[in-house]
Structure 1
Amino acid sequence: MTQTDTAAPASWSIDPADVARFSAIAAEWWDPKGKFAPLHVFNPCRLTFIREQALARFGRDGNDRAPFEGLSLLDIGCGGGLLSEPMARLGFSVTAIDASERNIATAATHADEQGLQIAYRPATAEQLLAENAGPFDVVLTMEVIEHVADPGEFLRTCTRLLAPGGLLIVATLNRTLKALALAKIGAEYVLRWVPPGTHDWKQFLKPEELRAFLAAEPVAMHGPFGVTYSPLTGRWSRSTDCDINYMMTVTRD
Structure 2
Amino acid sequence: MSTTDNFDPAELAKFSDLAHRWWDLESEFRPLHQINPLRLDWIDNLVSLKGLRVLDVGCGGGILADSMARKGAAVLGIDLATKALKVAQLHALEAQTDGVNYREISAEALAVEQPGSFDVVTCMEMLEHVPDPSSVVKACAALVKPGGYVFFSTINRNAKAFLFAIVGAEYVLQILPRGTHEFAKLIKPSELAGYCRAAGLNLQQTKGLQYNPFTRHYWLSADTSVNYMLSTQKS
TM-score, with structure 1 as normaliser: 0.88
2:19 pairs with 1:38: no
- Aligned AA (1:239): S
Gapped regions of structure 2 (runs ≥ 5): none
- The answer to whether residue 85 in structure 2 is matched with residue 92 in structure 1 is no
Which has the higher mean CA deviation after the structures are superposed, 82-91 or 36-45?
Answer: 36-45
For residue 142 of structure 1, report the CA deviation from its aligned partner. Answer: 0.4
Give 1:232 deviation, angstroms: 4.3
In the alignment, structure 1 residue 53 sits paired with structure 2 residue 59: no
The one-letter code sitting in structure 2 at the alignment partner of 1:35 is E
Contact 2:3 2:108 in 1 (8 A): no
Is residue 2:136 matched to residue 1:143? Answer: no
Matches within 5 A, 1:88-237: 88-117=69-98, 118-132=100-114, 135-237=117-219
Structure-2 residue corresponding to 1:29: 22
Whole-Å separation in 1 of the counterparts to 2:121 and 2:175: 27
Distance 1:201 1:171 in 2: 16
Q: Secondary structure at the match of 1:215?
A: helix
What residue number does 2:64 align with? Answer: 83
Cα deviation per residue 1:117-157 (whole Å; 9 max; x = unaligned)? 31111111011012235510010000000101101111111
| Superposition RMSD in Å | 1.7
Taking the aligned partners of 2:153 and 2:234, their CA distance within structure 1 comes to: 18
Aligned to 1:18: 11
Deviates more, 1:141-150 or 1:217-226: 217-226
- Deviation, 1:44, is 1.8
Alignment partner of 2:146: what SS? Answer: strand
Q: Which moved more, 1:155-164 or 1:233-242?
A: 233-242
After TM superposition, give the deviation of residue 217 of structure 1 in Å. 2.9
Matched length: 234
Rg larger for: 1
Q: Say if 1:75 and 1:141, in contact at 8 Å, map to a contact too.
A: yes
Using a 3 Å threshold, how does the CA distance of structure 1 residues 21 and 9 change in structure 2: closer, same or farther? farther
Q: Which moved more, 1:107-116 or 1:38-47?
A: 38-47
Tell me by how many angstroms 1:30 deviates: 0.2
Choose the corresponding residue for 2:55, options 50, 60, 74.
74
Q: 1:177 is aligned with what amino acid?
A: A
**Structure 1 range deviating more: 131-140 or 80-89:** 131-140
- Preserved CA contact (<8 Å) 1:166 1:251: yes
Cα separation, 2, equivalents of 1:15 and 1:92: 30
* Distance in structure 2 (CA, Å) of the matches to 1:10 and 1:247: 25
Q: Which 4+ runs in 1 deviate beyond 4 A?
A: 8-11
Verify the 8 A CA contact 1:42 1:235 in the aligned structure 2: no
Q: Which amino acid aligns with 2:23?
A: W
Secondary structure in 2 matching 1:214: helix
